[in-house]
Amino acid sequence: MLEIIKYNKKLQQILKIDINDYKEYSEKFSSIEIEIIPYQNKKGRFISINKIEEAKYYHIYFNGNKLNEIQGINLTKNEKVNKINIVIDHQIISFNQLFSNCNCIESICFKKFYRNNINDMSYMFDGCSSLKEINFSNFNTDNVTDMSYMFWGCSTLVKLNLSNFNTNKVIDMSLMFDGCSTLKELNISNFIINDVKLITCFLDALII
């Protein structure tokens, strides 16, 4: 939709939208797109939507079929799902517990993430005990203040590249990697930790 509006001046006038600064507009209103690869033959929850009234802002599709939106947040063993695509509208500003205890996920890729209004990523992947890979190449943390317990209990992750994380506004990283018992490679080369006690990130993570 943003791409259509970008090049359609008449539509901009009808909607009373000024997007001369397309980047700024995208950072406020664009969708976030995520692709999930489920763990083979494992049933369970693949996303946590904490508030029922917010469910309408999450759009879920199986096997890349965007003509068929799925209602539900669980997989059963009988479902033949190779990938799950999730589109999240701009009304959502917190990723707290987004994938909490979703132990049927093997891989997560953030395919589109222009918005910068997400402010909370605490417990985002906690308890994702089957998660082997997260692709953060398209990921925006510019206004996040809380990353506590973000990867808590991700016991099958071997490596994480967080080099593009902007942690300038983060004030809580407590136990961020707690329970990541198999983590061997961790890139936090660009972390800014002005007011954060970094040591609390690594307690019990076995990666210092």
pLDDT in tens, 70-91: 988 999 877 889 999 999 999 9
The model carries a pTM of 0.83
Q: Strand 159-161 to strand 133-135: parallel, antiparallel, or no bridges (unpaired)?
A: unpaired
Is residue 147 over pLDDT 90?
yes
**Between residues 18 and 204, which one has the greater pLDDT?**
18
How confident is the model over 52-72, as pLDDT tens digits? 889 999 999 999 888 899 988
Stretch 138-160: mean pLDDT, rounded? 95
Q: What phi and psi, each to the nearest 5 degrees, are found at residue 14?
A: -65, -45
Q: Assign 165 a pLDDT band (cuts: 50, 70, 90).
A: very high
What is the pLDDT averaged over residues 161-169? 93
Summary mean pLDDT of the chain:
86
Q: Within 13 Å and on the Cβ side, how many CA atoms surround 52?
A: 0
If you average pLDDT over residues 152-156, what whole number do you get? 95
